Structure 1
Amino acid sequence: MIFPPSSMQPRVFGLPPGVDFPQRLVDGLLARLQGQPPEALARVTIYLNTARIRRRVQQEFAKRGASFLPKLPLIGDLAGDPLLTGIEPTLSSLGRRLELAVLIERLLVADPTLAPRSALFDLADSLAGLMDEMRSEGISPEALASLDVSGHSAHWGRAQRFIALAEGFFAHDARPDGEARQRLAVQRQIARWQALPPEAPVLLAGSTGSRGTTALMMQAVAQLPQGAVVLPGFDFDMPEALWTGMQDALVHEAHPQFRLAGLLHALEMRKGDVGLWTEDIPADSARNHLISLALRPAPVTDQWISDGPALGDLIAATKGLTLIEAPSPRAEAAAVALALREAVEQGLSASLVSNDRNLTRRVAALLDRWGIRPDDSAGQPLQQTAPGRFLRLVAGAMAAPLTLDRLLALLKHPLTHSGTGRGPHLRLTREVELHLRKRGPAFPDASFVRDWSSAFAAKKNDPDALAWGLAVAAFLETAATTHRAPLPQLVTAHLGLAKQLARGIDPTGSGRLWEKETGEKALEVMHKLRAEAPEGLVLSAMDYPPLLAAILSKEEARSAVLTDERVQILGVQEARIQGAGLVILGGLTEGAWPETPASDPWLNRRLRRDAGLLLPERKVGLSAHDFQIAVAGPKVILTRALRDAEAETVASRWLNRLVNLLSGLPATHGPEALAAMQARGQHYLKLAEALDAPLPGLPPARRPSPRPPLKARPRKLSITQIERLVTNPYDIYVEEVLRLRALNPLRPEADFRLRGEVVHQVLEDFLRISPLPQDPEAAADLLLQITERVLEAEVPWPVARADWLARMRRIALPFATATLRRDSHPVLLETKAALHLKGPDFTLTGKPDRIDVLPDGNLHVIDYKTGEPPSEPEMKQHRKQLHLAAVMALGGAFGDLGPRVATRITYQSMKPGLKERGAELTEPAIDQLREELEALLSTYLDPATGFTAQRAAVASAWEGDFDHLSRLGEWSIADAAEPEDLGDQE
């Protein structure tokens, strides 16, 4: 017995924010057992809400020496007690969702307008969540069916059609799921207590009663003869009037104490009836008063004016608070990591409490550089582990033709060919990547891999290539033949494919796919999925990947690695159990803490209230309660990033309230207190800035101007390269001296470059037809036929083919008409030529799109552009491609044409309007161009001339291929170039 028999019931105690809850829970219990025999402790039962708080309580008992332990069941353990719920097996959470998915899939087949098929599992998951909530709150399907939705949009009427699917799961003979068993177990346990109240003490500690089933049990425990509820983070500073006034969920649900107030209201208790479990004072009572006032419900924030001056000196109340307002997420993570490292060096235990998993991952990565591995309570999402990513990639290969980048992602994954042939696999993967990025195709399939490996094996005499190609091709063939099937068959096919790719050329096994903790967890989840998958859920290969991703995203994997117990990374709901010397509340921005409530596809806020369900703000209120507990620690750092990757962020509403309250209390030194908090935060930001600063004495790169020796300088360039020699000689240095070539994009796309190649191919094929139909419409039809043929052969993207064909339709007739009316006729199309310049001993090459002969025998050089033709100033300054073609023509470079004068050059845009720009040339003008060209080439054949980067400022819509090699960004075009002699100048 720990409570006097005459004490008033019900019995509710609280511990204020700022105390170590597990420690004080144990202290209070032992104090009440003082003087009783040791075995009295073994008769005590303490119901706890999480396994983590149970571990902390066990540790606290262990610190006090050898003794008996109380019984420490979890509230959720009741559902597994066969004496309370029977021996009928429970339907798993996954099984319930898959059963719902069957019904939803049939509904979507009947009416595809209800939702996209990709949302199938998400709809099943959210509907199962609604069912869990209905069971927890004791709401029947009839209550939802009777809701009046006549005054709402038609969407809510359609939602009722989905909700009706859940009615069968509430039947008395339906197989129970976990939430149903929990509700049943709690109800039967309460009935037992009412029939035969236990004489031994029963406590329920650490829960706020946020779910109906738990709140029901808390009410029952509080009314037992030796029962009591111990509430975490109870705000003893909030006035009684506010406690009694918090009853409207629509107004007060987001307040941190709303759930606790609801429990008191259900027990017909007042704030004054709640006792202190221990007499220990919180870490900082003045700060608790400040936070309590800052978090008062929105309708009464006018009390800041009346009650604020009573807080006293705010500099003293905030001496343990630090505010870090970082310019970026990276800076925030660096500042947090440095603060955690400092705590470790000072011998303090430290906790990072945050909802922002990006922040926690960054912090963990930064701590690793100092050998600090924090204990992360959340583990790692299974879909982000190596096996999880591998399984998702393989599922994607079943769903659609593989693009180049997705094939390479599969081949380069560390689990692919992870058996005995990993070394040759990596080597051959690099070889096939170079081939694909240079020549394609955009959608490599089994036949391509087989043909390439066979050719490569013969060319390089590589004994590994053929077996490797056959293994990869076999995987691709099998993946491509996956069709619509029941989910168990899809899972079986998926597992077979995953093992096939993982083992590679080995005849058996699965490589290293299922090794270590993450592999074992992935295998467990996949086997569970196959066991639970209903035959009635028939999916296509396209439907399977999003369902798999949704399932993997809900699983966590933890690796058995040695962590530093002094540093913990906790979720916000675990803030109530921490007792660290330093607490960092990270990611305090709206949308992260508190998280934005997920949109409910079933019921809006008012319908939820009418049905008796929880409002979306419930999670906001719970997060607010966690914030109030965590911010009351002995030493606290509040952090946020002022910007994310996209825009400025909005401070968390609780941080915003605290800042506004401090700013509005100058009489009690609020602004000075806030400035001091920010100044302490600046200390860590400066350390973070120094951490990322360049090493001392390491100057930025200078604008390069390499001077290779004469023998290494190019003696042959094309007319398009000459243009870049004028504007950016560094590109020519990289291509012709270093012999480097830019790789094509990892994912081929229907970009401007491919469109230009296609248009040129179409026009070349069209103009080679002789004679052309003299009817413009017939010629236009012919042009479109050629376009369709070339597009089919060269462009594997249906949308791009349709778009480009439509573009050609708009200009086909005008182009055909202009071609037939032109006063010249083509004599050369896309013909390579070369002209040797004796003066500088240099060869100029070129392949003009089209050269026509004019009636007077002179030439007309034409170049087709898919974009805008160059302007006249550009042609005068550096766009000399056709000018140089005229130089080649006069020099007799084009074979049988002999030396001829190109009196006309034209750039023609292949866009509506067929805009043309060009120039008229004379033989003296061409001779002058040749002299200027020879002078330019002679200059760059002089060892004293450097190939300067960005020699001329030319506007461009995209980055240059070699700008990163020149370190553009560390220097600007206004900086002077720095010549550098390379190699043996002799």
Structure 2
Amino acid sequence: MRRSLYSIAPDAPFLKVLASRILDGTLAPDWPREGPFWLSDITIYLPTKRARLALIDIFLERLGGAALLPNIYTLGESDEVENAFFAEPDLTATNPVSKTERTLFLARLIEGWAHTAEKAQQVGFASPPSAAEILAMAQSLGQLLDDFLTEEIDYHQLSQLVPEELAENWQQSLNFIKIVTDNWPPYLEERGLQEVATVRREKFALAQQTLKMRYGDKPVIAAGSTGSVPANARFLKEISALPNGALVLPGFDTSMSVEDYSFLLEPNNKAHAHPQYGMALLLRRLNAGPADVQELAPVQQGRAEILHQALATAENTAQWHAQREKLSDQLETATDQLSLLAMPNEAMESRAIALATREALANNKSVGIIAPDRDQARQIIAELHRFDISVDDSAGVPLNQSPAGRLVRQLLQLVQSEFSAIDLVGLLLHSSVCFGRARSEISALREVLDLSILRGMRGKPGVAGLRKAVQAAFENPEPRQRPLSEDEAAALIALFDDMEHMLAPLIEAFASGKPSLLDIARAMPTLADKVIHDDQGKPHHPHGFDQLSDWLTELAAGSIELSQIDSAQFVSAMALLMSPVSVRPLEQARHDVQIWGRVEARLQSVDLIILAGLNEGVWPEDADPGPWMSRGMKLAVGLEPPERKVGLAAHDFLLALNAPQVVLSYAQRRGTSPADPSRFLKRLLAFVGKACEETLIARTAHIKAWTTQIDAVKQVSPAERPTPRPPADLRPRRLSITEIETLLRDPYAIYAKHVLRLKPLDPLGAPPDFAERGNLIHDVLGDFIADGHDCAAPDAHDQLMALAQKAYERLADVADRRDIWLKRFEAIATAFLAHETTQNLHIAVRNAEIRGQASLEIAGVPFTLHGRADRVDQTDAGKVEIVDFKTGGVPAKKDMENFMAPQLPMAGLIARQGGFEELERADSAAFRYIKLAHGPDTLSLTNFPSKLEADDWVDQYWERFSRFAELMLLRDDVAMVAQLNPKPEQRFEGAYDHLARAKEWAPEGEDE
């Protein structure tokens, strides 16, 4: 057995065992352990910086801080892992190319490939890809280039592929990859740059060459690395050849037979997905076998043997029964501290993990949560906040999701949307945005903007439009707007002036329709710095601002521009470019609970490990070869197949089960689809058997119960129907003609509006709905009549459509919907003019959108009725016809007859009193509803029932309403009940239904 090869079993705490074996002389046994400095002569290489810091803590704890520690360095295995330990002068000339520059170069090639018209059929795109799609393709292509460099496969190996043997899509892809490999290396040479993977390989090569010279006979230990990268493997081989060199493999199966070892290395067996595959390759490079590896961990409770069997090759699963019998004595002990959480969905899984964490912390245990899915990690963090447990995702967040990245995205989105309401409020809510003002002033102005200007505002107003909106709100506010003072108006105008000045480079760039990526990158650092400075000149740097500044500098230093990024795609393209940059937490929130990705979790040890998201597609991730080369193509050129990712995930799963207590967790549904448990979990459960599985599940029964109980209440007491009884003198004495029906059907809504004086807020930047469509139609038809146009004129249709074009311009931000609605209005316009010129011949004067009011009495108490009528037409006989245009539903005949459709008769009452502007007193001749729609029946007419004359309807409605109003408005003891007479067919929610909590008590279904 070689003394340079060791392993630490997967069920043992790797770093603690490593420290113990260094201190007790098992590792580097020939090195004298005398004097105070002997430990400082030892050098240790670990795969991650996190592992390095943890090992330092372990040594400090063991030695009490009274000795010099070993030299501990990190040994990078991938771009995701903390990298490098070299400072040799020979490497100072290296100039690695940034990922951003490479992505842009590749994107420009893809852009030309995809948008060349004569190559449209050859390229095979169904439609030209967007800028974001091009950048995503460029990032995946960059990963393929990394694979070639990392695995040290020459690009010329692509010539080994015979295009005629490939499907047409792979032929096209291969042709393009060859274009890339012909152009990318010369570009690097011209710029004096190197690939990051090339720089890393050179570092390893230099380190390998100087190992003997630097360390001589001193002990050198490389621990925790599997040598999955060829350059790394050569470096490890050189360490193992040193006089006092040693390799400590993580979780190697020292019980593996020679046959099993040979099986893993046989290419035809396709064993890349096996957790021992990478270490088997390393042993072959070292000319060693399983028998040469010595186990360092003390004998555990059998968990390692069970894990190795559960993750055995498919051929060895036939021996499971015999192996289970052999390990039956250890099975219960080995799984005694394992438990299983199977939750219905991701949200419930995250909640259960938070509860399990809280339980462990209450028992003074340290907790590590391994969550490969970063979205789930954020869910778990949010759930932990329930218990005032603050924890950061140690894997960090992408730059585009950090506060600094969000600031850039919000600035770009604001300018791209021409200062739309939602984007403006969103930017001002950002805690770093100051625009030369105190944050408190920005917050106050944002609230004024929200309530006085932006509610209901939509479209692309730009800064000029915002100024006009402020001026209009100050001089002539809408009824539902909060009043605006002169000082507030001035402060808002000043804010808009400063915003326009500071954001001028962005506004100018987006005005062209094709913003320049490089120009914006060069302008953004100065621009963002101005935005975050307050009135005292103090910057409010958001987290990630340093990384953002470095990234923008890197982007601006390049010379590659993309031509196909238009304004609408720019924000998503910028976010995609930022995504590879990671922003780490400023500091660890607490040390007793941490959330890791799989890479961060390597070699870590805590009291309780929770493996979150043990689902297929998450752990392991999908073995996707990518869009550029198929699995067969990769194997043909010597690249590792995509199943290698599965093998790495299997090894991470193996090492993650090293804690004294382990919780295995998965969701039965992810998103909207059913989800399968991870294959690793399935194999483990299949090996231990059904009875053991049920025991593992039973151990988390209390956690499951807590997830449902935490938000449960012992007794559900739904709200009762509100029955407020305000004093009679507070009840309204003035109502509009539309509020009459509201009082009849829902007195509570009148109470909320007139007694409580609550006004519904319009949505912020809401998309146009059918109510707005109806208002537009009413406005256009009303303006046409009010402007005195002749319905019989030859150009009447053109004049009507011109008014419609002007009115519908406020839908500029939804041009498609505007055009559709205009087309539909054209049919309404034709039907409207035909109706007016063929069926309304008895009309002498048309009056549109006319306001009026009548002073009345109810039981001797003054009462004012007011409102606006769509049309009050004067007939040749001296009476009036009152018309209401409906884009929605027309009242049912039974509602008219049952006195539940009072709008037109109440308008008739105002006409009888002579209350309409510029109209003499007149009796009503008819009440009509005109339904306006698109379709076969564009315009349909509905008259009030003929069983009474129009004036008789007025008398009957007023008599019945006045009796009802006497009860509801003039008496203290009568409750203003919610939904007293609701419309059974009404499908939309009333403005005050949420205040009345109607969904808790209102009956469901028309029968009720």
By the TM > 0.5 criterion, same fold?
Answer: yes
Aligned match for 1:91, one of 84, 90, 97:
97
Q: Is 1:901 matched up with 2:924?
A: yes
Q: Is 1:255 matched up with 2:281?
A: no
Aligned match for 1:712, one of 701, 725, 730:
730
Residue ranges of structure 2 left out of the alignment (5+ in a row): 77-82, 121-126, 476-483
**Alignment partner, residue 612 of structure 2:** 586
Rounded Cα–Cα distance in structure 2 between residues aligned with 1:773 and 1:967: 48
Rounded Cα–Cα distance in structure 1 between residues aligned with 2:863 and 2:559: 74
Rounded Cα–Cα distance in structure 1 between residues aligned with 2:587 and 2:208: 42
Rounded Cα–Cα distance in structure 1 between residues aligned with 2:468 and 2:503: 14
**Alignment partner, residue 978 of structure 1:** none
Rounded Cα–Cα distance in structure 1 between residues aligned with 2:206 and 2:385: 50
Aligned match for 1:64, one of 62, 65, 69:
62
What is the letter of the counterpart of residue 58 of structure 2? E
Rounded Cα–Cα distance in structure 2 between residues aligned with 1:223 and 1:815: 95
How big is the shift at 1:376?
4.0
How big is the shift at 1:378?
1.9
C-alpha spacing 1:485/1:367, structure 2 compared with 1 (3 Å): closer
**Alignment partner, residue 937 of structure 1:** 965
- Name the SS for the 2:664 alignment partner: strand
- Name the SS for the 1:90 alignment partner: coil
Q: Is 1:849 matched up with 2:849?
A: no
Q: Is 1:805 matched up with 2:826?
A: no
CA deviations over 1:251-284 (Å, ceiling 9, x no partner): 54333333234334555654x42523314123x4
Rounded Cα–Cα distance in structure 2 between residues aligned with 1:237 and 1:929: 95
**Alignment partner, residue 819 of structure 1:** 836
CA deviations over 1:797-845 (Å, ceiling 9, x no partner): 3222211122223444344333322145463322122234423543333
**Alignment partner, residue 48 of structure 2:** 50
How big is the shift at 1:468?
3.1
Larger displacement relative to structure 2 (120-129 or 187-196): 187-196
What is the letter of the counterpart of residue 128 of structure 1? G
What is the letter of the counterpart of residue 903 of structure 2? Q
CA deviations over 1:707-748 (Å, ceiling 9, x no partner): 211111122222322333333332222211111111111123
Q: Is 1:626 matched up with 2:626?
A: no
C-alpha spacing 1:955/1:255, structure 2 compared with 1 (3 Å): farther
Q: Is the 8 A contact 1:256 1:625 kept in 2?
A: yes
1:399-410 pair list within 5 angstroms: 399-410=416-427
How big is the shift at 1:242?
4.6
**Alignment partner, residue 177 of structure 1:** 195
- Name the SS for the 2:991 alignment partner: coil
How big is the shift at 1:45?
3.7
- Name the SS for the 1:636 alignment partner: strand
What is the letter of the counterpart of residue 759 of structure 1? I
CA deviations over 1:29-52 (Å, ceiling 9, x no partner): 432344741366555443321111
Rounded Cα–Cα distance in structure 1 between residues aligned with 2:822 and 2:328: 76
**Alignment partner, residue 984 of structure 1:** none
How big is the shift at 1:188?
4.9
What is the letter of the counterpart of residue 684 of structure 1? I
How big is the shift at 1:656?
3.8
What is the letter of the counterpart of residue 103 of structure 2? R
Rounded Cα–Cα distance in structure 2 between residues aligned with 1:251 and 1:354: 28
1:739-750 pair list within 5 angstroms: 739-750=757-768
1:123-522 pair list within 5 angstroms: 123-144=137-158, 146-150=160-164, 151-154=166-169, 157-158=172-173, 160-161=175-176, 164-170=179-185, 173=189, 175-190=193-208, 199-222=217-240, 226-236=244-254, 241-246=259-264, 247-248=266-267, 251-267=270-286, 269-270=288-289, 272-282=290-300, 284-285=301-302, 287-297=303-313, 301=317, 303-304=319-320, 307-312=323-328, 315-368=332-385, 370-374=387-391, 376-417=393-434, 419-438=436-455, 440=457, 442-451=459-468, 460-462=485-487, 464-465=491-492, 467-475=494-502, 477-482=504-509, 483=512, 487-503=517-533, 509=537, 511-514=538-541, 518-522=544-548
Larger displacement relative to structure 2 (93-102 or 813-822): 93-102
**Alignment partner, residue 481 of structure 2:** none
C-alpha spacing 1:165/1:653, structure 2 compared with 1 (3 Å): same
How big is the shift at 1:348?
1.8
Rounded Cα–Cα distance in structure 2 between residues aligned with 1:786 and 1:200: 90
**Alignment partner, residue 982 of structure 1:** none
TM-score, normalised via structure 2 length: 0.85
Q: Is the 8 A contact 1:404 1:748 kept in 2?
A: no
Rounded Cα–Cα distance in structure 2 between residues aligned with 1:332 and 1:17: 26
Residue ranges of structure 1 left out of the alignment (5+ in a row): 1-6, 976-986
**Alignment partner, residue 600 of structure 1:** 626
Q: Is the 8 A contact 1:374 1:567 kept in 2?
A: yes
How big is the shift at 1:466?
5.1
How big is the shift at 1:438?
4.2
Larger displacement relative to structure 2 (606-615 or 152-161): 152-161
CA deviations over 1:411-454 (Å, ceiling 9, x no partner): 23222226553333332222222233346353232223445567
How big is the shift at 1:569?
1.5
TM-score, normalised via structure 1 length: 0.86
Larger displacement relative to structure 2 (780-789 or 600-609): 780-789
CA deviations over 1:167-199 (Å, ceiling 9, x no partner): 344469452232102223334555667999965
How big is the shift at 1:773?
5.4
C-alpha spacing 1:940/1:297, structure 2 compared with 1 (3 Å): farther
Rounded Cα–Cα distance in structure 2 between residues aligned with 1:211 and 1:866: 69
Aligned match for 1:966, one of 996, 1000, 1008:
996
1:19-58 pair list within 5 angstroms: 19-29=12-22, 30-34=25-29, 36-38=31-33, 41-58=39-56
Q: Is 1:735 matched up with 2:758?
A: no
Rounded Cα–Cα distance in structure 1 between residues aligned with 2:92 and 2:810: 67
Rounded Cα–Cα distance in structure 1 between residues aligned with 2:722 and 2:202: 76
What is the letter of the counterpart of residue 703 of structure 2? Y
Rounded Cα–Cα distance in structure 2 between residues aligned with 1:292 and 1:875: 80
**Alignment partner, residue 73 of structure 1:** 73
Rounded Cα–Cα distance in structure 1 between residues aligned with 2:216 and 2:492: 75
C-alpha spacing 1:391/1:771, structure 2 compared with 1 (3 Å): closer
Q: Is the 8 A contact 2:522 2:553 kept in 1?
A: no
What is the letter of the counterpart of residue 901 of structure 1? S
Rounded Cα–Cα distance in structure 1 between residues aligned with 2:174 and 2:868: 64
**Alignment partner, residue 685 of structure 1:** 704
Rounded Cα–Cα distance in structure 2 between residues aligned with 1:957 and 1:331: 32
**Alignment partner, residue 981 of structure 1:** none
- Name the SS for the 2:153 alignment partner: coil
What is the letter of the counterpart of residue 647 of structure 2? G
1:114-129 pair list within 5 angstroms: 115-129=129-143
How big is the shift at 1:404?
1.1
Q: Once the two structures are aligned, what percentage of the paired residues are identical?
A: 28
What is the letter of the counterpart of residue 619 of structure 2? W
**Alignment partner, residue 950 of structure 1:** 979
Rounded Cα–Cα distance in structure 2 between residues aligned with 1:565 and 1:512: 30
How big is the shift at 1:908?
0.8
CA deviations over 1:544-592 (Å, ceiling 9, x no partner): 5334323433333344446322222211223331211111112223343
- Name the SS for the 1:742 alignment partner: coil
Rounded Cα–Cα distance in structure 2 between residues aligned with 1:420 and 1:402: 19
What is the letter of the counterpart of residue 147 of structure 1? L
Larger displacement relative to structure 2 (375-384 or 176-185): 375-384
C-alpha spacing 1:949/1:142, structure 2 compared with 1 (3 Å): farther
Rounded Cα–Cα distance in structure 2 between residues aligned with 1:23 and 1:703: 65
Rounded Cα–Cα distance in structure 2 between residues aligned with 1:220 and 1:742: 75
Rounded Cα–Cα distance in structure 1 between residues aligned with 2:929 and 2:492: 50
Rounded Cα–Cα distance in structure 2 between residues aligned with 1:116 and 1:520: 30
Rounded Cα–Cα distance in structure 2 between residues aligned with 1:740 and 1:143: 74
C-alpha spacing 1:197/1:610, structure 2 compared with 1 (3 Å): farther
C-alpha spacing 1:249/1:868, structure 2 compared with 1 (3 Å): farther
Q: Is the 8 A contact 1:17 1:232 kept in 2?
A: yes
